Amino acid sequence: MLPTIGILVISTAISLFEMPNLLKNNKTKELWVFIILLLIGTSLSIALCLKVNLPNPLDWITFIFKPFSDFIMTTLK
Amino acid sequence: MDKQMISVRQLTIIVMFFSIGTAILIVPASISQEIKQDAWIATFLGVILSLLVVKLFIIVGNITTNLTLVEAFENILGKYVGKLISIAFVLFTFFAAGELLYYLGDFMQSAVMPETPIVAFGIMFMLVICYGVYLGIETFARSAEILFPIFVLIFVLFVIFISPQIDIKNIQPILESRTKPLIHSILLFTSIFSFPLVVMLMIFPASVNIHKSASKGIYIGIIAGGIVLVSMITLAILVLGAPNASQMSYPSYAMAQRISIGNILERIEIIMAFLWITTIYIRTFMYFYASVLGLSQILKIKDYRPLVLPMGMILIAISLIVHPNIIHSNTFNNEIWLPYSSVFAILLPLLLVVVAKFRKIKSE
Amino acid sequence: MKRITIIIFLLSLTLLLNGCWSKRELNELAIVMALGIDKTDDEFEVTMQIVNPSEISSKQPSGKNSPVVSYHAKGKSLFEALRRTTALTPRKPYFSHLQMLVIGEELAADGINQSLDFLARDHEVRNDFYIVVADQSTAKEVLNVLTPIEKVPANKLKNSNEGSQKSWASTSTIQLDKLINNLSSDGKSTVLSTIEIVGDKKLGIDPTNVERIETPVILVYTGLSVFKEDKLVGQLNEEESQGYNFIQDELKSTIEIMSCPKGGNLSTEIIKSKTKVKGKIINGTPSIDVTINVDQNVGEVECDIDLSKIKTIHMINKSTSKLIKDKIKKSLDSIQKKYQADVVGFGEAIHRADPKEWKKIKGNWESLFPELKVNVKVNVNTRGLGTVQNSLLYKTKE
């Protein structure tokens, strides 16, 4: 519970830090990207705190490249 | 944000630190497992091979003057293909940064402070890196310049202090390993040492003044990095012996622990840890900077600074997802990293060169 | 406004400086100076010799309490036994200052591999302590002996191990790295210095042990213990241990006594010794050449001899060379024939010389080693005579 609140606090701090600047200068595209990234970051961090089993992108990469890796291993052993 | 420029000297220093990266900690173990006491030969040949790899990068840099790599993708390969490849590249650098963040945390935790969770190290490190990216590449380059003489001093002292414990017998017999494992080790080393330098193409032509001598600067940087790594690995074998060096998680740190001069100069290994904290910092910074800059260029955002903090937050989360434990990290680096990084470091640059030449021929 | 926030931020950072997550205050540490490992009924028994700081301090030792305290615990593995000790110790043990590791005789006979992995793997345990084996006693008994002059017995053990290796060459200082390297190399054998308790073991623990001029119970190093694979198989006596140190190029100084032609003895002090071990395989038969170059001084003259003649010096050189050669032969006999354990690294020497041939005979090394031909050549050079030329006490009668 406590880490989750901490993360939310940090997220709001970050947005308070950046948002005024973006709103003032009317940078809508940046604002949207900022919000999306912040949401991704916050949700990932909260999910980690709650010990949700998140998928590991490196595992997908491993899946794609395993055949090449096996090929290298067999030819160069 | 105004266009920031760095000098050739700063570029050389960054290249040197970047290429040393985590290799200074990992390389002795992963390579000596296969070819034992000939690991230094593999490192040496790997550095020479890396010169060719760097030549490829410089060729790409010469084609894409004033563009960063991401911009070059779109420019040369067309809008849609370019954007797709850029996204893949940004993900590549981003995940690599996450890996490094995990690695540093794991090292600090297993060797120095076992009760501290890895997140703590990640957060501390990211705060510095986010601040650095915020301030821009020029400030970062200046910080690298400041770190450089300290690094050299500590490195030279390290070599001097550990040399009394060298046992020349540990490196004999020379060239005992068969060719195939030797080639594999050379490739493995090159993939950790120089393939990641493709990230430098994000700053290489675009942010460096005096273009011509920049190429020379990159060569000097990588040779300097190579000297450091070859010395490290050779010392690891000479001092610890091949069986120990191959099984230890952090051979360079173990070597630093062995330093004992006149019973007074002992237990200074944490000062030596300054060496690799520096190189890992430079490498993580570059990866992160590349991904932030790359993302902003894909989305055609002029100023990347608003993206820094949220991406930093994601990165800390990624660093905890990407490797659940050190064994996963070691397996990934030993097996998957070679083909995975060669796609971005060899295939894509070659693709760029070929298509660019092709287009040039077409337009003439 | 921005400046003030920055200053407040920086100042608040200093709040973090006074400690870290993994901090351990000095008064929470029990500094372990020596560790003893024994095997009793299939379990590990661990003895920790912990410093009692108030007794060691130079200001006001009360002299009533012992300078060190020892704690014991048992467990199925070394790690478990060590953790169990926290139920006994007032503070959590801290291993980074470990000076000595003593392995009990019974455990050594059973095999020491099990005890070593924890020590190699743990981040607190460093590499700079010496490892020795107890003879005819348990490590527990060795670590329960109080020593005069050195308040902490672990320090005495460490210093006399070093001292005897430097000046008498009957022991060898071995640290964890080297031990593990020895045990994991081809051939797989090692030696460890032997420590013995002379005197009644039960009295050693009494403070009266150090209250007399002649300490009744003392700890003595009596040579080297031979391990085959990781099991104790026997001891090398003083002479054989010196021979071992000669072969390993670890001899820094020792004494050789030779008999003079006219009766009586002459002692020389070896000040420098360099050994080269070369292996070779001819027609599938391995052999070793050991070449030793020795520099010495005449140390003690107890006979009627004229040291001003070159002829005499040559004779001294030849005698010493023969003595050293015999010593080495004796130790090789023990090592090769009696114990059949390659503790001198001859297998590795052949591996370094000719890796391809070595691969062929590697499997048979156990049976080849006892019959291995070793050619020993010793070149002795007498450099000086001390501060007296010819002894006045043993003058040639004119």
What is the pLDDT confidence band of residue B291, given thresholds at 50, 70 and 90?
very high
Domain spans of chain B, in order of start: 8-363
Per residue, the 3-state secondary structure of chain C, as one string, reads CHHHHHHHHHHHHHHHCCCCCCCCCHHHEEEEEEEEEEEECCEEEEEEEEECHHHHCCCCCCCCCCCEEEEEEEECCHHHHHHHHHHCCCCEEECCCCCEEEECHHHHHHCCHHHHHHHHHCCCCCCCCEEEEEECCCHHHHCCCCCCCCCCHHHHHHHHHHHHHHHCCCCCCCCHHHHHHHHHCCCCEEEEEEEEEECCHHHCCCHHHHCCCCCCCEEEEEEEEEEECCEEEEEECHHHHHHHHHHCCCCCCEEEEEECCCCCEEEEEEEEEEEEEEEEEECCEEEEEEEEEEEEEEEEECCCCCCCCHHHHHHHHHHHHHHHHHHHHHHHHHHHHHHCCCCCCHHHHHHHHCHHHHHHHHHHHHHHHHHCEEEEEEEEEEEEECECCCCCCCCCCC
Residues of B (249-308) whose Cβ lies below 8 Å from C: 254, 257-258, 260, 266-267
- What separation, in Å, do the N-terminal and C-terminal C-alpha atoms of chain C show? 105
Asked if B338 has any chain A CB less than 8 Å from its own CB, the reply is: yes
Mean pLDDT of B176-203: 86
Q: Is the pLDDT of residue C17 over 70?
A: no
Q: How many domains does chain A have?
A: 1
ipTM of the complex: 0.90
Q: Is the pLDDT of residue B1 over 60?
A: no
CB contacts of A9 in chain B (<8 Å) are none
Among A16, A69, A75, A77, which would you mutate to test the B interface (most chain B Cβ atoms within 10 Å of its Cβ)?
Answer: A69
**Nearest in space to C205 (alpha carbons), one of C30, C49, C84, C44:** C49
Q: Is the pLDDT of residue C306 over 50?
A: yes
Mean pLDDT of B162-187: 83
* Nearest CB neighbour to C181, from listed B244, B258, B260: B244
| Side-chain half-sphere CA neighbours of B14 within 13 A | 29
Residues of A (48-77) whose Cβ lies below 8 Å from B: 48, 54, 56-58, 61-62, 65-66, 68-69, 72-73, 75-77
∠ CA(B217), CA(B223), CA(B229), 5° rounding?
A: 140
Both tokens assigned to B268? 């200074």
CB contacts of B267 in chain C (<8 Å) are 96, 126
Mean pLDDT of A24-33: 82
* Nearest CB neighbour to A44, from listed B180, B314, B323: B314
- pLDDT averaged over every residue in chain C: 85
> Would you give the DSSP letter of residue B4?
P
Amino acid B333: pLDDT: 85
Rounding to the nearest 10 degrees, give the CA dihedral for residues C211, C217, C219, C222. 140
Mean pLDDT of B123-150: 91
* Nearest CB neighbour to B243, from listed C96, C127, C185: C185
Q: Which residue of C has its CA nearest to B120?
A: C21
Range name among B69-78, C56-65, C211-220, C352-361 with the lowest pLDDT average = C56-65
Mean pLDDT of B27-49: 83
Q: What pLDDT digit, counting tens, does each position of C177-195 carry?
A: 888 888 887 666 888 888 8
Q: How many CB pairs under 8 A join B and C?
A: 45
Mean pLDDT of C341-360: 84
Q: Which residue of B has its CA nearest to A63?
A: B336
Which one has a higher pLDDT value, C284 or C39? Answer: C39
Amino acid B181: pLDDT: 83
Q: What pLDDT digit, counting tens, does each position of C63-74 carry?
A: 677 788 889 999
CB contacts of A18 in chain B (<8 Å) are 306, 309
Q: Which residue of B has its CA nearest to A22?
A: B306
Asked if A29 has any chain B CB less than 8 Å from its own CB, the reply is: yes
- What is the reported pTM? 0.85
Q: Which residue of C has its CA nearest to B177?
A: C355
Q: Is the pLDDT of residue B133 over 60?
A: yes
What is the pLDDT confidence band of residue B331, given thresholds at 50, 70 and 90?
confident
Backbone angles phi, psi at C272, to 5 degrees: -150, 140
Range of the domain at A34: 2-75
Q: What pLDDT digit, counting tens, does each position of C371-396 carry?
A: 888 899 999 988 888 887 777 777 65
Q: Which residue of A has its CA nearest to B321?
A: A56
Amino acid B284: pLDDT: 93
> Å from C355 to nearest chain B CA?
7
**What fold is seen in the domain B8-363?**
Amino acid/polyamine transporter I (1.20.1740)
Tell me if B289 sits within 8 A of B307, measured CB to CB.
no
Q: Do C184 and B243 touch (CB under 8 A)?
A: yes
Which one has a higher pLDDT value, C398 or B362? Answer: B362
Q: Is the pLDDT of residue B149 over 60?
A: yes
Among C177, C185, C280, which would you mutate to test the B interface (most chain B Cβ atoms within 10 Å of its Cβ)?
Answer: C177
Mean pLDDT of C153-179: 89
What is the pLDDT confidence band of residue C398, given thresholds at 50, 70 and 90?
very low
Amino acid B288: pLDDT: 94
Q: What pLDDT digit, counting tens, does each position of A31-53 carry?
A: 888 889 889 989 888 888 888 88
Q: Is the pLDDT of residue B89 over 70?
A: yes
Residues in chain B: 364
d(Cα A60, Cα A57) in Å, to the nearest integer? 5
- What separation, in Å, do the N-terminal and C-terminal C-alpha atoms of chain B show? 36
Which one has a higher pLDDT value, C346 or C65? Answer: C346
User: Please, what are the domains in chain C?
Assistant: 24-236 (no CATH), 238-398 (3.30.300.210)
Touch A-C: 3+ C-beta pairs under 8 A: no
Which one has a higher pLDDT value, C56 or B317? Answer: B317
Amino acid C211 reads: E
